Amino acid sequence: MPLITPVNKSNSLNEKQLAATPPEPDVVQVYQTALRSFVPGSWDANALSLVSQMIQWLIANPNEAAAESLWQWSKQLKEEDETLQDNGIVATAGDAVAGEYRRAIRLTIYYCRAKLSQNETDRIKYYRKCLAIPTNLETQQHLQRLAEIALERPFFDTSDSGSLPPKSRTSSVSSGGESSSSLSCCANCGMEKRAMPVCARCKSRAYCNMRCLKADKAKHELTCSK
């Protein structure tokens, strides 16, 4: 008879499970360490890929510590964008590429934050932030289409007093007027202000100034509706 080596099935199964699904704190720590490894100006396809992987995991496995790391990171990226704009720095070709990926990362994080938000007000807020960031990357443009679809779904129309449908949050003032919402996000550059002009036709797309309104006009006309 052939010799058969006994196998402890229970131990074998446990080892496979541990290899496939490491403890949650370890996963979080790995992602947090990876995020900290990036330095300003090093935004590229690898950084975007890491964030995309982290977000896929986070949506399937909501974790407060990992989410907070992403939210804080997106704030740093936003501050970096604003600093470059305020200083009027002329971007080199390398800077332009880094800027494209930096915006794509912020856009992706906003989409994730909208997906994980527990109340309709925050969901609408972050889907709009996602839509407000310009991008030339196909994957991020797809996320923006998903965000647009999400904003049109009936579940945003709720009788709950703590949440309002999207158009209730924006001013009905036409272009050149000011929005009365507490905080608006420019649909062209992503800048946030307490009051902004809005599209005269749809009354919902906000801009920080007329220059941004005109810059976004051709793109917005494709989806703008009364």
Q: Give residue 52's Cα distance to chain centre.
A: 10
pLDDT at 166: 38
DSSP secondary structure letter of residue 179: -
What's the whole-model pTM score? Answer: 0.57
Q: If DSSP codes are grouped into helix, strand and coil, which group holds residue 113?
A: helix
- Residue 166 to residue 126: CA distance in whole angstroms: 12
Q: What is the DSSP string of 39-83?
A: -TT--SHHHHHHHHHHHHHHHHS--HHHHHHHHHHHHHHHHHHHH
pLDDT at 7: 41
pLDDT in tens, the chain (226 residues): 444 444 444 444 444 444 455 545 578 888 888 777 776 667 788 888 888 988 988 888 888 888 888 888 888 888 887 777 666 555 566 678 888 899 999 999 999 999 998 888 899 999 999 999 999 999 999 999 999 988 887 544 433 333 333 333 333 333 333 333 445 677 777 666 666 777 777 777 777 777 777 777 777 777 776 5
How many C-alpha atoms does 118 have within 13 Å on its Cβ side? 2
Q: How many residues does the chain have?
A: 226
Nearest to 35 by CA among 69, 78, 61: 69
pLDDT at 21: 53
DSSP secondary structure letter of residue 194: S
* Segments making up each domain of the chain, as ranges: 23-155, 166-226
Q: What is the DSSP string of 135-170?
A: ---HHHHHHHHHHHHHHHSGGGS---TT---GGGGS
Q: If DSSP codes are grouped into helix, strand and coil, which group holds residue 223?
A: coil
DSSP secondary structure letter of residue 26: H
